[in-house]
């Protein structure tokens, strides 16, 4: 279990508590529960693996030693004597904070203010000696089921209207995805850079989005904001679920922010969409590791070749020509001028075989 002192250190280093306090309305009487103490109670609840219920936050605060309760304001001196924090007071402060950090029209995505608070707390949780140890992140998302029951079919009347139906992988022996009602949690975890020392796998950024939103697109603004915060982006490790998105949703904005993508290729981008076995298409680009061996060994057709041998040779020649076309399509066309033009080469039969194999990239 993480100590209260460690959580207080993170909250103070992030500076989020004073920023939230100034956003809350001022009442006639000073609130007994401060934002700093509320955040500490929420951290204690999660650090002790308790359910994320507000009643558990109140329980975590009121079960602290008495001197800690007095220091945090859980026990305060009122007109008629000491007063211990009630659940209603906890609910009141929590409601003010959620209203200040929420959106006027909730849409299943965090507001900029809420995302900034989460970013500040996560960044403050990274020890100083590891803040610049690595710029590489491993990213992924997972499902978070809502506390609410799903709404009746055709309605949105439930306790958590921002949640939505999503898909997740299951552990049973069937290929179909499983439906769930809730959210997607996306996280970027620090990983060691290539040929560098190991680093703790600490979460550097995270966000939660409704299952009605694409978790990849929801996480991109969080990652691309890192350079502006003085945290350069290095390698981004991700699986085929990210690689299968269109380039404008993931690859292009991250590369523009300085990241280098290290990602698995989706099965839909392999094999049949390439020019030959081993060729693949990723983000609209063709990649061919090498020319297939049968084509590298393609030579002139013997004069005594049978009809079947000639047909097989023609087929291999056509495949090699496709590889050459795919390779040259990636480079800009050049226009020969009158001073550099040269006579056209003679038209050899099956000239692709004479020209030799080429690699495509």
The C-alpha angle with vertex 142 and arms to 141 and 147, in degrees rounded to 5, equals 135
> b/e per residue, 39-71, with b = 16+ CB within 10 A?
bbbbbbbeeeeeeeebebbbbbbbebeeeebee
Please tell me the least confidently modeled range out of 262-276, 291-305, 315-329. Answer: 262-276
Bridge partners of residue 287, in order along the sequence:
280
| More confident position, 298 or 255 | 255
Q: Which of the given ranges, 204-218, 250-264, 314-328, has the highest pLDDT on average?
A: 204-218
Q: Is 194 helix (H, G, I), strand (E, B) or coil?
A: coil
The dihedral through the CA atoms of 31, 32, 33, 36 has a sign that is: positive
Nearest partner of 187 among 205, 175, 212, judged by Cα? 205
20-41: per-residue pLDDT in tens?
Answer: 999 999 877 889 999 999 999 9
Return the pLDDT at 155: 79
Return the pLDDT at 350: 40
Return the pLDDT at 124: 96
87-136: per-residue pLDDT in tens?
Answer: 999 999 999 999 999 999 999 999 999 999 999 999 999 999 999 999 99
Is the predicted pLDDT of residue 341 greater than 90, yes or no?
no
How much is the pTM? 0.72
Q: Percentage of residues in the chain with pLDDT exceeding 90?
A: 55
Is the predicted pLDDT of residue 279 greater than 60, yes or no?
no
222-249: per-residue pLDDT in tens?
Answer: 999 999 999 999 999 998 888 878 889 9
Return the pLDDT at 315: 84
Would you tell me how many other CB atoms lie within 10 Å of the CB of residue 125? Answer: 19
Chain length of the chain: 361
Return the pLDDT at 172: 63
- Secondary-structure breakdown of the chain: helix, strand, coil percentages, each rounded to the nearest 5: 40, 15, 45
Q: Are 85 and 61 in contact (CB under 8 A)?
A: yes
3-state SS of 36-74? HHHHHHHHHHHHCCCCCCHHHHHHHHHCCCHHHHHHHCC
| Average pLDDT of span 241-262 | 90
| More confident position, 110 or 334 | 110
Is the predicted pLDDT of residue 335 greater than 50, yes or no?
no
Return the pLDDT at 355: 37
Question: How much is the mean pLDDT over the chain?
Answer: 82
Return the pLDDT at 323: 59
| Average pLDDT of span 310-324 | 76
Q: How confident is residue 157, by pLDDT bands cut at 50, 70 and 90?
A: confident
Q: How confident is residue 255, by pLDDT bands cut at 50, 70 and 90?
A: very high
| More confident position, 119 or 289 | 119
Classified by CATH at the fold level, domain 116-264 comes out as: Nucleotidyltransferase; domain 5 (3.30.420)
Q: Where are the beta strands (DSSP E) in 197-271?
A: 203-210, 235-238, 260-263
133: Cβ contacts below 8 Å, ≥ 6 apart = 190, 197, 199
Please tell me the least confidently modeled range out of 79-88, 134-143, 270-279, 347-356. Answer: 347-356
Return the pLDDT at 342: 37
Q: How confident is residue 346, by pLDDT bands cut at 50, 70 and 90?
A: very low
Distance CA 120, CA 163 (A): 25
Is the predicted pLDDT of residue 301 greater than 90, yes or no?
no
Rounded to whole angstroms, the maximal C-alpha distance in the chain is 113
Return the pLDDT at 154: 78
| More confident position, 86 or 49 | 86
Instruction: Report phi then psi at 137, rounded to 5.
Output: -130, 140
* DSSP letter for each residue of 79-113: TTEEEEPPHHHHHHHHHHHHHHHS-SS--SS--HH
Domain ranges of the chain: 4-101, 116-264, 269-329+350-361
Return the pLDDT at 336: 38
Rg (the chain; Cα; Å): 30
Instruction: State how far the alpha carbon of 289 is from the alpha carbons of 133, 311, 316, 353, in Å.
Output: 33, 27, 18, 20
| More confident position, 90 or 273 | 90
| Average pLDDT of span 260-281 | 62
Return the pLDDT at 286: 57
The C-alpha angle with vertex 308 and arms to 302 and 310, in degrees rounded to 5, equals 40
According to DSSP, the β-strands at 75-78 and 81-84 are antiparallel
Return the pLDDT at 266: 67
């Amino acid at each position: 279990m993480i100590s209260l002192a460690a959580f207080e250190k993170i909250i103070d280093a992030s500076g989020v508590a004073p920023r939230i306090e100034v956003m809350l309305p001022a009442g006639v009487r000073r609130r007994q529960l401060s934002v700093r103490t509320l955040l500490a109670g929420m951290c204690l609840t999660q650090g002790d693996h308790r359910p994320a219920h507000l009643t558990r936050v109140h329980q975590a605060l009121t079960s602290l030693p008495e001197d800690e309760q007095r220091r945090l304001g859980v026990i305060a001196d009122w007109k008629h004597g000491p007063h211990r924090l009630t659940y209603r007071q906890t609910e009141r402060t929590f409601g003010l904070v959620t209203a200040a950090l929420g959106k006027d029209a909730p849409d299943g995505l965090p507001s900029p203010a809420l995302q900034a608070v989460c970013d500040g707390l996560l960044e403050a949780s990274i020890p100083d000696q590891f803040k610049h140890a690595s710029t590489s992140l491993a990213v992924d998302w997972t499902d978070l089921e809502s506390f609410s029951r799903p709404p009746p079919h055709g309605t949105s009347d439930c306790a958590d209207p921002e949640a939505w139906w999503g898909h997740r992988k299951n552990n049973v022996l069937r290929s179909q995805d499983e439906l769930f009602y809730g959210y997607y949690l996306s996280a970027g975890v620090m990983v060691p850079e290539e040929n560098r020392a190991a680093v703790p796998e600490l979460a550097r950024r995270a966000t939660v989005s409704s299952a009605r939103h694409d978790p990849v697109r929801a996480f991109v603004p969080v990652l691309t904001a890192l350079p502006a915060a003085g945290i350069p982006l290095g390698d981004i490790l991700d699986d085929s679920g990210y690689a299968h998105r269109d380039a404008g949703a993931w690859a292009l904005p991250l590369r523009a922010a300085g990241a280098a993508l290290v990602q698995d290729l989706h099965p839909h981008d392999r094999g049949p969409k390439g020019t030959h076995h081993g060729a693949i298409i990723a983000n609209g680009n063709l990649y061919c590791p090498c020319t297939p061996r049968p084509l590298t060994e393609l030579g002139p057709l013997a004069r005594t070749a049978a009809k079947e041998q000639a047909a097989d040779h023609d087929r291999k020649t056509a495949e090699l020509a496709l590889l050459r076309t795919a390779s040259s399509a990636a480079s800009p066309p050049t226009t020969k001028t009158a001073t550099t033009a040269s006579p056209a080469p003679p038209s050899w039969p099956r000239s692709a075989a004479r020209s030799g194999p080429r690699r495509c990239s």
